[in-house]
Each structure stands twice: as C-alpha cells, then as structure tokens.
Homo-oligomer: A and B are copies of this chain.
C-alpha cells in the first residue's frame, strides 16, 4: 500500500508531519509518498533514521494556505502538495491521501481530481466526537451546508462503514441529530430523512438524537447536514475551551497557588 501524504499542510508542518510519516512507515510497513517541496522534505528526513523505509519524495512546489479559497486554490495551484497528492490517488499510484492542511482544499481536490464513488451523491466530512463513553462519528460536519433528504441515508452508510472498520464497532447504531428525541420532532429535512433512513437496509437506525444524548455516548454514528453538524461540533469545542479557561483562571488565582 502507498499513502500520499501532504507534507506542507497543518499547524506543525513539515517537521511533525515527516516525523509521523517515519513512525508510521516503520510501524505499519507501508510506503508513504511525501508530497511537497523537495528541499524541505530532504532536510526533515535527514533528522531521522530512515534506512529500509519506503518514503519516496514526490515534488510539489506550491502550497494551499489555510486562508486560500478552496476551489480557486485547487484550480490555480496545480503544483500544490494537496493537488499533486490527490493526482497520485487518481492515477492509482497511491491508495489513500492524507493531509493536515486546508480542509476545504482537500475536499475540493478530492471531488475535482479524484471524484466520488459511483452512486454517492455527495461527499461528507467526518469527525470522531468525544463522548462520556468514548467516541462517536458525526457526519456531515461541513462539506454540504445544504443537503437533500436523500443524502442522509448515504451519510448513514458511510458512517456505519467508518465506525465498523476504523473504530471496530460491529453493528454501529445510527441516529439523526434533531431538536428533540421524540419521533416527529425536527425540521422538514429531518422528518423526511427519518422516513428514508428507516427504509435503508444495512444500517442500524434508531431515530432522533439530541446533543445531550450524543455527549452521553448513546449512539455510534450521528448523521446531519453539514451546516448543523458544523455548528454542533464547533459549539461543543468552544464551550469546552471556555470552561477549561475559566477553570484554569479560578484554580490559579486562589490562595492555594499564590
């Protein structure tokens, strides 16, 4: 197996990306194609013991920055690490593409250069979401701000496969994010999607779910539109950050620590 890795993307690139690639190549005995500026990659590789590891360098001289507009960037930066890495997958020279860079850019390059699986109407962004009991999978968290009801059974199938193969859950439960747990609660989109989800074979659909229950860990796969999913994930993250900050302020200003 060959994995195309964008060395230029992410907050801690290139050093952490290359360090991770070296570790992964050793641990999993896979080939990892390092895509990016060759001199940068060579300098990073020199810091590691890489003999016997399959870490070919694939040159890409442009970089899609975090504030680049995704679709425009993919079109105007054909020699960027994200686009070049996607092309490796498209040509069958790599089986997967990994980046810690511009999410929209990765999504746009994936759609425009690799394309979707036959029959799949829309891609979805997936996030493992921490709960009281471990993790669940939430999708879509941002690829599609507007969806049609028929996308959601596909998200449910993709999420089920992800939970089964990546997280090792044999028969993952699926629920749809709504403003109430009861049947019949929800927007028109949710109500229509629930009807379709009930009739979808191969998934273990259990009805509506509220934020509270997701966080308690009652479900393995949560399906939603990309707008709601994005706000759900960002709100949980922002609330957690604020509480950590407040806690730290309180704990460090008291008489114990001064």
Binding site for B on A (CB under 8 A): 132, 142, 145-146, 177, 179, 186-188, 190, 210-212, 214-216, 225-228, 230-232, 234-244, 247
Residues of B within 8 A of A186 (CB): 145, 227
How far apart are A177's CB and chain B's nearest CB, in angstroms? 7
Asked if A187 contacts B146 (CB within 8 A), the reply is yes
Residues of B within 8 A of A242 (CB): 132, 215-216
Q: 12 A-B pairs, CB-CB below 8 angstroms?
A: A145-B186, A145-B190, A179-B230, A211-B238, A215-B239, A216-B242, A231-B232, A232-B235, A236-B238, A239-B239, A240-B243, A243-B243
Asked if B247 contacts A234 (CB within 8 A), the reply is no
Identical copies of this chain, number: 2
How far apart are A186's CB and chain B's nearest CB, in angstroms? 6
Asked if B238 contacts A212 (CB within 8 A), the reply is yes
How far is A216 from B246 in the complex, measured between Cα atoms in Å?
12
How far is A164 from B48 in the complex, measured between Cα atoms in Å?
62
Task: Pick from A190, A215, A216 the residue with the most CB of B within 10 Å.
Answer: A215
Residues of B within 8 A of A215 (CB): 235, 238-239, 242
How far is A239 from B212 in the complex, measured between Cα atoms in Å?
8
Asked if B247 contacts A179 (CB within 8 A), the reply is no
How far is A142 from B132 in the complex, measured between Cα atoms in Å?
26
Residues of B within 8 A of A187 (CB): 145-146, 225, 227
How far apart are A7's CB and chain B's nearest CB, in angstroms? 27
Asked if B231 contacts A231 (CB within 8 A), the reply is yes
Which 3 A-B pairs have CB atoms at the shortest separation, nearest pair first? A179-B230, A211-B235, A239-B239
Asked if A226 contacts B146 (CB within 8 A), the reply is no
How far is A230 from B188 in the complex, measured between Cα atoms in Å?
15
How far is A239 from B241 in the complex, measured between Cα atoms in Å?
10
Asked if B179 contacts A145 (CB within 8 A), the reply is yes
Which one of B188, B214, B230, B232 lies within 8 Å of A146 (CB-CB)? B188
How far apart are A176's CB and chain B's nearest CB, in angstroms? 12
Residues of B within 8 A of A234 (CB): 179, 210-212
How far is A240 from B146 in the complex, measured between Cα atoms in Å?
29
How far is A235 from B186 in the complex, measured between Cα atoms in Å?
16
